[in-house]
Structure 1
Amino acid sequence: MKSAPSLAEVTVVCVTYNSSPLVETMASTLARFPNVVIVDNASGDDTAARVGQKIPHARLITRHTNAGFGAANNQAMAAVQTPFALLLNPDCSIAPADVQCLLDCLARFPQAGLVGPQSWRDNGTPQLCHRDAFFRPETKGRVRVPDRLVSAEWIHGCCLLVRTRAFHQIGGFDEIFFLYYEDDDLCLRMAKAGYQCLLQPAARAFHRGGASSTPSVRTDFIKRFHYARSRQIAIRRYVGAAAARRHLAKLLLVALPATLFYSLLSRPRHAIKWAAWGAAALSAGLTLDLVPGQAKAAASTRF
């Protein structure tokens, strides 16, 4: 009987962007894994310098422009030489024993292209880690942690163990998704290529959520802009042009009055959300490329 893969056959891949406050925790997590590749997506803070200091065994790739989450992961994956890669958000941590559990799962199910753990918040509450495809009717209610291995159309992208061969076979992340919905698209394309996407609840990860970059009004606006933009692209791709037009029309109709309404109520987070969604809808409606940081640039690599 073939022995289960070991941690030496896994490369941990992380993408950072203004993630300096998380580097200490990242260092604690990544110290336990022999193979690590980190891509810094043109951080404006000292993230890259701190990564070099605190995680010296990692291969660090520093970009001069923000390529987007998917593109940076693809760049890291091009450097991976192991049969498995753990795509790990900088605000997510996982123990070696839990990664081994994921490895054992892929060994048992050779047709699986990826497997994710059940992730938990710091307060002990579970995070939604699997569901049907985004375009199917939502089931509202409390997050229920499955008691056994499940196959799903979407597995949360904060922590994914992927087969390197399968990842490259489907072309990796589609770089049209600058941020958000890239994990939806990856899982759906895995399924189209004949691979299963699994959730192994016996493996546990801990995900702070929303902490991968330093918070600010600008960061909040950009994230919400990209959420709306990526959703529009995903709807067009998987539901159709007519559905995408209807979705766009609703956003264009509602965004301005909603922004004004929440501004008058002094609720800035809601106002920023609707302003960003409106800007994304206007960009899509006018077919403008208002997405910051997508210019191609060479990356410098330090070992």
Structure 2
Amino acid sequence: MNATIAPRSEIEGLSVSVVVYRPDLAELESTLATLRAACQTLRATRPGWPVTLYLVDNGGLPDVRPALEALGADDVTTSILTGHGNVGYGRGHNLAIKSAKSRYHLVLNPDIDLDRDALVRAVDFFEGHPDTGLLTPWIGDENGRQQFLCRRYPTLLDLFVRGFLPGSVQRLFARRLAHYEMRDLINDRDIVWSPPIVSGCFMLFRTEVLQKLAGFDARYFLYFEDYDLSLRAHDVARVVYLPAVRVLHHGGGAARKGSAHIRMFAASAYKFFSRFGWKWL
């Protein structure tokens, strides 16, 4: 890190971008409902704070008008960005990031459920630590078990084992995967500074940091754009894992989504390692 980031006191509020492509309707509605509840808690401590949701339609957006109307009833402004086609995950978020005029910006997956206190705890931490630019939460699965989505820099073997081998075989690499997933440091209690890589399913930024980085690298269509952005974020601000902020994640890995996702994963991995350096074993 080579810069200290101070909050811009004249700018308030939160913006959120959610990129969708043929999303699961029930999961998306749950995400929007829990976002609404988290915004209600945030507003209780910061009355009048503007909150804007950018719903980026890369294709196949279902009818979520009731959920958006519920957000509007709580004074959450919603902007649907559509008509641009399936431009990819990172480029979709960039459409919103370029427009954001908030103090904080949340990059959010449409398969995340937020704890009611998630946003207020995150913002409180940011405002008490002005050098923090990116925050990642405790992330649980559908059964409430912790997902270890902070990462050390990967090798090709790490990615192959974790992404494509069955669980029975992965157990043979348990120590290696535990190191890659930072299980020696990441838990449900301790704040961890400077995890090298954090998950793109929930990335809460100080907006000026995110815009200074020009958002996601548009060369990635899907996968590894969060790895790339995480590594670049360390150059301009501090990154923190804060387990007091909690979310649940319903997503799955590339191998479980079919051959097209495997090809996209491989293409993005090549771009990532070509930029940041190859590690094989």
Q: Which residue of 1 aligns with 2:80?
A: 60
Structure 2 segments unaligned to the other structure (5+ residues): 1-6, 40-50, 73-77, 159-175
Q: Which residue of 2 aligns with 1:140?
A: 177
- Give the CA deviation at 1:174: 0.2
Q: Which residue of 2 aligns with 1:224?
A: 262
Distance 2:209 2:93 in 1: 15
The answer on 1:27 being equivalent to 2:32 is yes
Structure 1 segments unaligned to the other structure (5+ residues): 248-303
Distance 1:220 1:114 in 2: 32
Distance 1:202 1:30 in 2: 17
Match of residue 192, structure 2, among 146, 150, 172: 150
RMSD: 2.9
State the identity %: 25
**Per-residue deviation, residues 232-288 of structure 1 (Å, max 9, x unmatched):** 111111115xx6xx89xxxxxxxxxxxxxxxxxxxxxxxxxxxxxxxxxxxxxxxxx
Match of residue 159, structure 1, among 189, 202, 224: 202
Q: Is the 8 A contact 2:33 2:67 kept in 1?
A: no
TM-score by length of structure 1 reads 0.68
TM-score by length of structure 2 reads 0.73
CA, structure 1 residues 42+148, in 2 after alignment: closer, same or farther (shift >3 Å)? same
Q: Is the 8 A contact 2:115 2:245 kept in 1?
A: no
Structure 1 outlier segments of 4+, above 6 Å: none
SS of 2:33's partner is helix
Q: Is the 8 A contact 1:30 1:36 kept in 2?
A: no
The answer on 1:42 being equivalent to 2:59 is yes
Q: Which residue of 2 aligns with 1:198?
A: 240
- Give the CA deviation at 1:228: 0.6
- Give the CA deviation at 1:140: 2.5
**Per-residue deviation, residues 206-251 of structure 1 (Å, max 9, x unmatched):** 001139xxx9x9x6222211111110111111115xx6xx89xxxx
Match of residue 168, structure 1, among 177, 194, 211: 211
- Give the CA deviation at 1:52: 3.5
Give the residue type in structure 1 aligned to 2:52: N
**Per-residue deviation, residues 51-79 of structure 1 (Å, max 9, x unmatched):** 33431332111134101000000001122
The higher radius of gyration belongs to: 1
SS of 1:209's partner is coil
Q: Is the 8 A contact 2:115 2:247 kept in 1?
A: yes
The answer on 1:118 being equivalent to 2:138 is yes
Distance 1:54 1:147 in 2: 33
Distance 2:110 2:155 in 1: 28
SS of 2:214's partner is coil
- Give the CA deviation at 1:137: 9.0
Distance 1:53 1:59 in 2: 15
Give the residue type in structure 1 aligned to 2:105: A
Q: Which residue of 1 aligns with 2:274?
A: 236
SS of 2:82's partner is strand
Distance 2:157 2:133 in 1: 25
**Per-residue deviation, residues 185-211 of structure 1 (Å, max 9, x unmatched):** 101111123x11111011110001139
CA, structure 1 residues 192+135, in 2 after alignment: closer, same or farther (shift >3 Å)? farther
Distance 1:224 1:62 in 2: 27
- Give the CA deviation at 1:121: 0.5
